[in-house]
Amino acid sequence: EADIYQTPRYLVIGTGKKITLECSQTMGHDKMYWYQQDPGMELHLIHYSYGVNSTEKGDLSSESTVSRIRTEHFPLTLESARPSHTSQYLCASSRWTGRPEQFFGPGTRLTVL
């Protein structure tokens, strides 16, 4: 079982609200990632970080933003949620070297009405 946590697990919210999805890991991993996944579909990388104060946009354009102030914490924020943001958001982490596999959190399923 990976030591990576996401809250909330489920969120239903109205259009225009600001939301923050939380992700924390206790494995001391430097690299962290956010993926967006629609049901039954592939994962799309939307943000990643190589360490504190490092954030990069991923392959899929996203209106969300991220921050990395502490190694263990990588929150994702949507300033104004829209129905098009309805999806599952998965957080993951990995080591720099040696073991490149990624460890995933349980995901947050977001529904914007």
Partner 1 sequence: SQQGEEDPQALSIQEGENATMNCSYKTSINNLQWYRQNSGRGLVHLILIRSNEREKHSGRLRVTLDTSKKSSSLLITASRAADTASYFCATDGGGNNRLAFGKGNQVVVIP
CA 20 to chain centre: 10
- Asked if 45 is part of the footprint of partner 1 (rule: CB under 8 A), the reply reads yes
Residues 56-85 that bind partner 1 (CB under 8 A): 58-59
List, in sequence order, the alpha helices (H) in 1-113.
none
Question: Around 35, how many Cα atoms within 13 Å sit in the side-chain half-sphere?
Answer: 17
Least spacing, CB of residue 68 vs partner 1, in Å: 16
- Asked if 88 is part of the footprint of partner 1 (rule: CB under 8 A), the reply reads yes
By C-beta, is 56 or 79 nearer to partner 1?
Answer: 56
Least spacing, CB of residue 4 vs partner 1, in Å: 8
The answer to whether 49 touches 68, Cβ cutoff 8 Å, is yes
Residues sharing a CB contact under 8 Å with residue 52, sequence separation 6 or more, in sequence order: 68, 69, 70, 71
By C-beta, is 13 or 43 nearer to partner 1?
Answer: 43
Q: Which residue has the tokens 């990069």?
A: 56
Contacts to partner 1 by CB under 8 A = 2, 4, 6, 31, 33, 35, 40-45, 48, 50, 58-59, 88, 90, 92, 94, 96, 100-107, 109
